[in-house]
Amino acid sequence: MTTVDSAETGSSTGSPSSRNRGTARQTEARAAWLFLLPAGILLVLFIVVPFVLAIGFSFTNQRLISPLPTKFIGLDNYVGQLTDGLFWKSIWNNARFSIFVVPFQTALALFLAVLVNQRLRGRVAFRTIFFTPVTVVMAAAATIWVLLFNANGLVNAALELITFGNFTPDWLNSTMWAMPAIIIVSVWQGVGFQMIILLAALQDVPTELYEAASIDGASTWEQFRSVTLPGIRNQLIFVLTVTTILAMRLFDQPTLMPNAPGGPLDSTRTAMVHMIDIGYSRQNIGRGSAIAVIFFVIVLSLTLFQRRFLREEGEV
C-alpha cells in the first residue's frame, strides 16, 4: 500500500494524468467494496452477529420459547456450568478422545503418506483406497460401524478368533469401550484427508537433501528424522492443529452411534453433545450460549498454545 501511495504522490506534480489516476484509484476502492459486499454481509449476519448474540445470551436466562421475559442474570450460567459435574465430564470425554485421536491419527496419516509415496506399482490404487472413507458421510459411516460393533457383530467375531474368545466387549453399550469405538470410526473416516495433505508435503521436500544425506551415509530412519520430518514440519503442524480443533468439535459420532445421546452413563457425552442437549433439546439458550463461549475460549487457547509451542520448539 505504501509503495503505491508514494508512486502516486511522485507523479502528482500537476500533470493531467494524476487526476485520472486519482479517479482510477477511487473506482478501484469502490469496486473493492462491491467485491467484499456479498460475502461480507453474510459473514456479519451468520458469524459475527450470532457470536455476539451468544456472548449476550450467556448472561441472560433466554429460552427458545418462554412466556417469561428475558432477564439479565450475570454470571449465573457460567457458575452453573463450571460447577456442573456433567459439564466437566463432557470436557474430560473430549480430552480422552483427543489424547488418542490427535497423535494416533496424525502418525497413521504420516505412515500411510510415506507408504503411498514409495515408488511401488499400484500406489495410486492404494492412495485411492485409503482416501475412500473420507467420501463416506459420517451419518453413513456411523451407521455401518454400529452394526460392525454390535455385540455379535463382525468386529467381535474377528476378535474372538484372535483372542480365543477372551476379548469381545459389547462396544457401544460399555462405558469403557464406547469411546474407543468412536475413536476407531473417526480415524477410519478421517485419516485419508490428513494423508493427502502430508503426501503433498512429502513430495515437495527437495530431492537434493535426500541425495546429500545418503552420500553422508545416513540410514533410511536417519534420513526420515533429519530430512523428511523437518521438511514437512509446517504441514504436520497444520494437521495437528486441525485434528485438535475437530476433536474438540466431536458431535456426530457420539450422537449417532450409542443408543442414547451421550452414550452409556454419559461416557461419550462431549462438550458439543452437552451444549446441544442444554441449548437445543432443553431449549435453555442462555446456558447453551455460556457453554458455547467457554468452548470457544478453550479452542482458541488450545490453538494459540499449540501454534506457539510448536513454532518455538522448531526454532531451537
Site for another protein in 62-121 (CB under 8 A): 62, 64-65, 112, 115-120
Quick one: which of 15, 17, 19, 42 contacts another protein (CB under 8 A)?
42
Residue closer to another protein by CB (options 183, 201) is 201
CA distances from 81 to 52, 57, 139 (A): 20, 14, 29
Query: Does 144 sit near another protein (CB under 8 A)?
Result: yes
Window of 12-20, 74-82, 94-102, 139-147 that interacts with another protein by CB under 8 A: 139-147
Q: Considering the rule CB under 8 A, would residue 9 count as an interface residue with another protein?
A: no
- Does residue 39 touch another protein according to CB under 8 A? yes
Q: Which stretch binds another protein (CB under 8 A): 11-19, 78-86, 90-98, 230-238?
A: 230-238
Q: How far is the CB of 274 from another protein (least distance, A)?
A: 11
Residue 245 CB, nearest distance to another protein (Å)?
7
Grid cell for residue 313: 520448539
> Does 251 participate in binding another protein (rule CB under 8 A)?
yes
Contact between 237 and another protein per CB under 8 A: yes
Q: Which stretch binds another protein (CB under 8 A): 13-21, 80-88, 95-103, 242-250?
A: 242-250
Whether 279 and 285 have beta carbons less than 8 Å apart is answered as yes
Q: How far apart are the first and last CA of the chain?
A: 34
- Of the candidate residues 141, 172, 181, 182, the single one contacting another protein (CB under 8 A): 141
Number of residues located near another protein, criterion CB under 8 A: 110
Supply the Cα-derived Rg of the chain in whole angstroms. Answer: 26
User: Rounded distance, CA 169 to CA 162, Å?
Assistant: 14
Please identify which residue in the block is written with the cell numbers 521436500.
205
Contact residue for another protein among 91, 172, 182, 275 (CB under 8 A): 275
Q: How far is the CB of 316 from another protein (least distance, A)?
A: 19
Distance (Å, whole) CA 268 – CA 179: 6
Q: How far is CA 154 from CA 52, 161, 162, 172, 273, in A?
A: 48, 11, 13, 14, 28
Given 188, 226, 231, 306, the residue binding another protein (CB under 8 A): 188
Residue 150 engages another protein in binding (rule: CB under 8 A): yes
The type of residue at 313 is: E
Give the span between the Cα atoms of 126 and 190, in whole angstroms.
16
Stretch that binds another protein, among 54-62, 71-79, 84-92, 97-105 (CB under 8 A): 54-62
CB 222 within 8 A of CB 213: yes
Q: Could you tell me which residues come within 8 angstroms of residue 200 by beta carbon, excluding any fewer than 6 positions away?
A: 235
Q: Is 138 in the site for another protein (CB under 8 A)?
A: yes
Site membership for another protein, residue 25 (CB under 8 A):
yes
Phi-psi label, residue 68: left if phi above 0, alpha if psi -120 to 50, beta otherwise: beta
